[in-house]
Each structure stands twice: as structure tokens, then as C-alpha cells.
Amino acid sequence: MSDGAINLRDKFATFSEPWSPRIVAEMNDYQFKLARLRGEFVWHAHAETDEVFIVIDGAMTLEFRDKVVPLAAGEMYVVSKGVEHRPVAPQECCVMLVEPRGVVNTGDAGGAYTAPNDVWV
């Protein structure tokens, strides 16, 4: 953990891989993760928890089975637990995720996009 301020853009500058969340901070048993989104992710849901998206740079879309939510820098959204969603970013988008420690990025879907969930930035 940092002993000083955590600068989000500085942290993003240290990695370039898309769909590979990095833990940037912990609060109680919750984690703040930075992720670069690029292209279309897999449809998935998290059965046990809500998940927060906060867009730091760029723009993205959260697709749901019944709606589409565009998100730009300075905007956030709470995906309710159990709700299928698919993040899509035509251009690269930098987001901060907030969720309990141990959440896997692909939720119930698994597959090639599944990333380690214990890597710090």
C-alpha cells in the first residue's frame, strides 16, 4: 500500500494490458481495481455482489440484456448483483472497479478473459 496519495493516472501509466484488473487500494474487505478496457468483454454476472464502475479516462458502454448504459469520464454505475452485463469500449477506456476482495473479472462466465485477481499496481 502507498503511504501517500494514490494518483490514478500515474498508476494506469504502469501497465497497458486490457481486461487485466490491478488492485490499487483496499478498504476493509473491499478492493479498488484499475482496468483498461479495449473491445468487447464477455457477458457475465457476479452472483454474490454488486460491482461499481467509475470511468477515469475515455468512454465505455455497459450492455445489459434490456438496456445499454453509456459511461464517460467522471461517471459511475453500480451493476446489481446477479445481473448479466458486458463492458464494451470501442476505444480504450480506463476504469476503476470497486468490489469485494476475491471477485473474478469474468464472474460466472470464465473463459479466456479470466484474469488473476490478486495483482497490485
Interface residues toward a second copy, by CB under 8 A: 1, 3-9, 24-28, 30, 32, 49-52, 56, 67, 69-72, 74-78, 81, 98-100
Which residue type does 11 have? Answer: K
| Cβ proximity to a second copy, 78 vs 119, nearer residue | 78
List Cβ neighbours of 59 (8 Å cut-off, separation of 6 or more). 70, 71, 72, 73, 89, 91, 93
Of 7 and 16, the one with the shorter C-beta distance to a second copy is: 7
Write down the least CB distance from residue 53 to a second copy, Å. Answer: 9
The smaller minimum CB distance to a second copy, of residues 44 and 46, is found at 46
